[in-house]
């Protein structure tokens, strides 16, 4: 018998939000549904700021770009993960260094991270960021990992693509590091058909990422761009699917626990 890892389940209300988006002509990658998705993400996680994106990969990429990670910079990344955790490091021309997992959570080993940081400090090759993944909904050992990130003053990004709804010592996944990302791909606990979210308590950081997600367009009466930007915003139609899915998130979590 085949047991699917994760299949999409519609709540039934998606169609009404999609119809509303189409009939009101809000079909662009902005609009009331996108705003509502960001509000729901803030409400659900308790994070101060949220940015809806067109994929979880885009959210990871924006987090690195907003940290000004560039060519030749080193980023530590969990080795046991989906390739999308690491690909954005290469988009920025940075260098991924993979840190092994530990057997209890299957996520980044605090001991391996500690050893890698000590070695990097000696060689003066400390990373500009650390990407920890909460794989299959299982949170990494965040107390130990955050203590190391704080000790070396390195921003930690939580790839919570697979863990919306999980908590670590009562804290929602994605809320413990500098920033967290979720994926709303079709194989996640809730979906927008394709989409993601970047969250952080640092509102300025999210506003910087928001600007980068809209081609880094400056505020000017003409097209002015001072750095490379991306087209990474969530569509208002896709966000309609997401709102209806958020309505059943608690129920989905209960079914999984
Ligand atoms: C651990 C992990 N990181 C990142 C991603 C990327 O998310 P997306 O497919 O929305 O780009 C996924 C899922 O696909 C994932 O499982």
* Coil vs helix vs strand at 200: strand
Q: How far is the CA of 12 from the centre of ligand 1 (A)?
A: 25
Of 172, 166, 161, 171, residue with least CA distance to 257: 166
Per-residue pLDDT of the chain (257 residues; tens, 9 = 90+): 998 877 889 999 999 999 999 999 999 999 999 999 999 999 999 999 999 999 999 999 999 999 999 999 999 999 999 999 999 999 999 999 999 999 999 999 999 999 999 999 999 999 999 999 999 999 999 999 999 999 999 999 999 999 999 999 999 999 999 999 999 999 999 999 999 999 999 999 999 999 999 999 999 999 999 999 999 999 999 999 999 999 999 999 998 87
Contacts of 56 (CB under 8 A, 6+ apart): 84, 159, 161, 181, 182, 183, 184, 185, 195, 196, 197
Q: Which residues form ligand 1's pocket by a CB distance below 6 Å? A: 55-57, 81-82, 84-85, 133, 159, 161-162, 183, 185, 196
Pocket perturbation via mutation, ligand 1, pick of 84, 160, 195 by most ligand atoms within 8 A of CB: 84
Second CATH level (architecture) for the domain 32-256: 3-Layer(aba) Sandwich (3.40)
> What are the distances in angstroms from CA 197 to CA 164, 180, 236?
10, 8, 14
Q: How far is the CA of 3 from the centre of ligand 1 (A)?
A: 20
């Amino acid at each position: 018998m085949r047991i699917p890892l994760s299949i999409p389940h519609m709540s039934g209300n998606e169609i009404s939000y999609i119809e509303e988006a189409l009939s009101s002509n809000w079909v662009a990658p902005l609009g009331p549904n996108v705003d509502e998705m960001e509000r729901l993400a803030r409400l659900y996680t308790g994070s101060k700021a949220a940015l809806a994106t067109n994929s979880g990969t885009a959210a990871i990429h924006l987090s690195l770009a907003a940290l000004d990670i560039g060519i030749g910079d080193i980023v530590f990344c969990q080795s046991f993960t989906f390739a999308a955790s690491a690909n954005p490091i290469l988009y920025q021309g940075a260098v991924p260094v993979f840190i092994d997992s530990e057997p209890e959570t299957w996520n980044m080993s605090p001991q391996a991270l500690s050893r890698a940081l000590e070695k990097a400090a000696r060689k003066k090759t400390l990373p500009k960021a650390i990407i920890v993944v909460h794989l299959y909904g299982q949170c990494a050992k965040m107390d130990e990992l955050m203590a190391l990130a704080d000790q070396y003053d390195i921003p930690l990004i939580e790839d919570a693509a697979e863990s919306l709804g999980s908590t670590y010592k009562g804290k929602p996944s994605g809320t413990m590091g500098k920033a967290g990302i979720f994926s709303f791909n079709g194989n996640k606990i809730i979906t927008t058909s394709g989409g993601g979210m970047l969250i952080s308590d640092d509102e300025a950081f999210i506003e910087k990422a928001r600007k980068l997600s809209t081609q880094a367009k400056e505020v000017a009466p003409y097209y002015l761009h001072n750095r490379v930007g991306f087209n990474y915003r969530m569509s208002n139609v896709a966000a309609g699917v997401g709102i209806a899915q958020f309505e059943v998130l608690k129920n989905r979590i209960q079914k999984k626990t």
